[in-house]
Structure 1
Amino acid sequence: MKASAPRFIISGGGTGGHIFPAIAIADELKRLRPDAEFLFVGAKGRMEMEKVPAAGYPIEGLWISGLQRRFTLDNLAFPVKVLSSLFRSRQILRDFRPDAVVGTGGYAGAPILYAAAQMGIPTLIQEPNAFAGLANKWLAGRVDKICVAFAGMGRFFPKHKLVITGNPVRQQLLDRSLDLARKRTTQRQTVLLMGGSGGARSLNEAMAGSTELIKARPQVQWVWQCGKHYLATYEGSATAALPNVHLTAFLDQMDQAYAEATVVIGRAGSTTIAEIEYLGKPTILVPSPWVAEDHQTKNAEALTREDAAVLVSDDSVTERLVPEVYSLLDDGHRRERLSANARKLAMPGAVTRIAEEVLNLISTPNQATVHATV
């Protein structure tokens, strides 16, 4: 292990699915090496520029964005952004002189990891999804280690670099949730619908279009997290006015919400899946059709193959969502089976395994003189 204080650059941005695992890895590295120093690198104007400083870490922003699937003016600027970000990345690396660079996916991390690999700095990427993202696939041949959460990722990455670690979860929050669930004195059936901080349009439309179905079973409580962008649209809806529906833009007490949930509804992002596996919650997954490579569908299918979740497609969610919920609520044996199978897929301690892989990179003799190459 490096005797002097290690220095780490960590990059992951664009969405919470990249940002929060990156912060979790930094927190765990800090726990293992309290003397460590950190710098995050993200994309200017994206949510990491707020979330990372709020978590207590400094961050540098690059002028970079993803390549759009359709023709846009932004696509014309893409090559210039890439060259500018690579130039700035090399400056950051020379100034900060990191011992290792870690990426959690997304286009924001590609330039800094590419430049670090070129300069001989140890690099590690974490791929959270069952279908690898474009940035991580592009970096795979250059980085030293790749941490994954699903089996079979050798079809995307060099097998000798792979380590199955699982995805980082908010373990303290989830453990509090499990403790709260054990202490519950009521058995009221509660449905938790999570649309994410930005909200999920199709899930909100399904709720708004199911007023009579939800009204017909007043004993079932609904927590409807619609997202900040949709609160004004749906707070006056007939569904939101029902006494057994609680509409909210955010879920400030996520541990309590998970603890009370009999059934969870959500998108199929890697963080959501890791958390419902850890908790063993009967879950209906509605993959977003708008994400790159349709990777959320692949994530959900990895669970449905093991009978660990129910998959409802986005284009059928209005017709199927509430009937699927009631089917689960009425079948306790099925809920128990889904819960047990989800727990089997959980990989507690993932963030520690990832952090240890990072530390292993800087403890090998051939990396001892890395700063000389910067």
Structure 2
Amino acid sequence: MSNYKFILSGGGTGGHIYPAIAIANELKHRFPDAEFLFVGAEDRMEMEKVPQAGYKIEGLWISGIQRKLTLKNLMFPFKLISSIWKAKKIIKSFKPDVAIGTGGYASGPLLKAAAGKGISCVLQEQNSFPGITNKWLAKEVRKIFVAYDNLERFFPADKIEKTGNPVRQDLLEIADKKEAGIKFFNLDENRKTLFVMGGSLGARRINQLVEKELNFFKENNVQLIWQCGKLYYEEYKKYESDLVKVNAFINDMKLAYAAADIIISRAGAISVSELAIVGKPTIFIPSPNVSEDHQTKNAMAVVNKDAAVLLRENELDEKFENEFLTLWNSEEKREMLGSNFKKLALPNATKDIVDAIEKLLKKAA
């Protein structure tokens, strides 16, 4: 049988959406006649990104709990009840064989409703410190696919399978793309390159750091690919020069990774997984403004294996130049970090997750 029905939910951020789409794509490749339905949170980015990837999506009236007392918090119980009721209707109508959650607000009500109907449910947890939704759902699901060790503190050990995070497969072949990357960004092949990325929208504090250090980079013969993000491009495009390539967004990330000798990045789960596959020396500057400070925890999981450098936002003025030069001037340290980081890569995550889902389907048959 290949006309299975799969229901997937993950959203709020790209870190939840893209793994769900990657899993759906692999399932579609194996089961071309299967039906797919995504469920997201109304007004969140999944309502745009999922249809762009070619899948149908339905929205629930759901949002997270704010940290302080707000009108949104007072509305939360009503939103949750409404979402569970709608999720039950969707499950009853669609009749999925498997429900897959990748985190985010909407996956809570959806997987709760699916589990209540006896449908096989699985979770994919991207971070080293799980979000509230996945912790809440852990008892309801058959399998929990993780990317980090020691998650039995949060989930039942017998349900955990360490697969890694689904990432873009084109990153597996960047070793011979350095020349193409240098050419694409119009860089000097005789200089080393720093690639700074702050996500598709950008990271204010990282951009402020780069702006402040432009003279320092110039003095040290650093050429720079600077992905400043869509929100900040107008502010920073004036710095474009022979040594500084300013980009709002980079569509062909493999060429930027290939051109780079050192990378500066946030520590979102998907970025960390991609960077492990790339295996380049990386300085993580985690965002302190995310729930449970999970970016710092993601970065620490790598740093503790001698595979990256961590700088907190409040240390940048004091420590950045020293830490950067130590890495920039030591080929030995760069090679050690890159090599250790690559050892942490789990490039077959999507395939391994779908293998496990296929086993569940066979058991149920």
With normalisation by structure 1, the TM-score equals: 0.92
User: For 2:318 and 2:232, how far apart are their aligned partners in 1?
Assistant: 21
Aligned residues of 2:180 and 2:255 also touching (Cα < 8 A): no
Which structure has more relative contact order (CA 8 Å, sep 6+)? It is 1
Quick one: which amino acid aligns to residue 139 of structure 1? Answer: L
Question: Which residue matches 1:17?
Answer: 15
Runs of 4+ off more than 6 Å:
182-185
Question: Which residue matches 1:233?
Answer: 235
Q: CA deviation at 1:176?
A: 4.1
User: For 2:279 and 2:143, how far apart are their aligned partners in 1?
Assistant: 30
Of the three residues 189, 198, 205, the one matched with 1:195 is 198
User: For 1:201 and 1:68, how far apart are their aligned partners in 2?
Assistant: 22
Aligned residues of 1:104 and 1:127 also touching (Cα < 8 A): yes
Aligned residues of 2:112 and 2:140 also touching (Cα < 8 A): yes
User: For 1:318 and 1:231, how far apart are their aligned partners in 2?
Assistant: 23
Question: Which residue matches 1:320?
Answer: 319
Aligned residues of 2:147 and 2:162 also touching (Cα < 8 A): yes
Question: Which residue matches 1:372?
Answer: none
Aligned residues of 2:264 and 2:282 also touching (Cα < 8 A): yes
User: For 2:354 and 2:274, how far apart are their aligned partners in 1?
Assistant: 19
Task: State the Cα RMSD in Å.
Answer: 1.6
Q: CA deviation at 1:6?
A: 0.7
Aligned residues of 1:89 and 1:111 also touching (Cα < 8 A): yes
Structure 1 residues 322 and 241, CA gap change in structure 2 (3 angstroms)? farther
Aligned residues of 1:206 and 1:319 also touching (Cα < 8 A): no
User: For 1:255 and 1:213, how far apart are their aligned partners in 2?
Assistant: 27
Aligned residues of 1:191 and 1:265 also touching (Cα < 8 A): yes
Aligned residues of 2:111 and 2:121 also touching (Cα < 8 A): yes
Aligned residues of 1:215 and 1:242 also touching (Cα < 8 A): no
Question: Which residue matches 1:125?
Answer: 123
Q: Output one character per residue of 1:11-64: Cα deviation in whole Å (capped at 9) or x when no partner.
A: 110111101111101111111222211111111111111111111111111111
**Identity value in percent:** 50
Of the three residues 48, 51, 71, the one matched with 2:49 is 51
Quick one: which amino acid aligns to residue 266 of structure 2? Answer: R
Question: Which residue matches 1:74?
Answer: 72
Q: CA deviation at 1:178?
A: 2.8
Question: Which residue matches 1:104?
Answer: 102
Q: CA deviation at 1:87?
A: 0.6
Q: Output one character per residue of 1:74-128: Cα deviation in whole Å (capped at 9) or x when no partner.
A: 1111111101110110111111110000011111211101111111110000011
Is 2:216 the partner of 1:208?
no
Query: Mapping of 1:130-145 within 5 angstroms?
Result: 130-145=128-143
Query: Mapping of 1:255-334 within 5 angstroms?
Result: 255-334=254-333
User: For 1:164 and 1:184, how far apart are their aligned partners in 2?
Assistant: 32
User: For 1:322 and 1:191, how far apart are their aligned partners in 2?
Assistant: 14
Aligned residues of 2:181 and 2:255 also touching (Cα < 8 A): no
Aligned residues of 1:203 and 1:317 also touching (Cα < 8 A): no
User: For 1:147 and 1:204, how far apart are their aligned partners in 2?
Assistant: 34
Aligned residues of 2:2 and 2:31 also touching (Cα < 8 A): no
Quick one: which amino acid aligns to residue 230 of structure 1? Answer: Y
Question: Which residue matches 1:89?
Answer: 87
Query: Mapping of 1:136-155 within 5 angstroms?
Result: 136-155=134-153
Is 321-330 or 224-233 further displaced after alignment?
321-330
Q: CA deviation at 1:310?
A: 0.4
Is 2:179 the partner of 1:177?
no
Structure 1: stretches of 5+ with no match in the other structure: 369-374
Aligned residues of 1:222 and 1:245 also touching (Cα < 8 A): yes
Structure 2: stretches of 5+ with no match in the other structure: 183-188
Give SS of 2:176's match. helix
User: For 1:227 and 1:320, how far apart are their aligned partners in 2?
Assistant: 24
Query: Mapping of 1:244-259 within 5 angstroms?
Result: 244-259=243-258
Is 2:223 the partner of 1:221?
yes
Quick one: which amino acid aligns to residue 357 of structure 2? Answer: V
User: For 1:67 and 1:359, how far apart are their aligned partners in 2?
Assistant: 35
Structure 1 residues 199 and 255, CA gap change in structure 2 (3 angstroms)? same
With normalisation by structure 2, the TM-score equals: 0.95
Question: Which residue matches 1:168?
Answer: 166
Q: Output one character per residue of 1:160-189: Cα deviation in whole Å (capped at 9) or x when no partner.
A: 1111111111012x0343331377793531
Q: CA deviation at 1:325?
A: 2.6
The count of corresponding residues between Structure 1 and Structure 2 is 359
Aligned residues of 2:101 and 2:123 also touching (Cα < 8 A): yes
Structure 1 residues 331 and 107, CA gap change in structure 2 (3 angstroms)? same
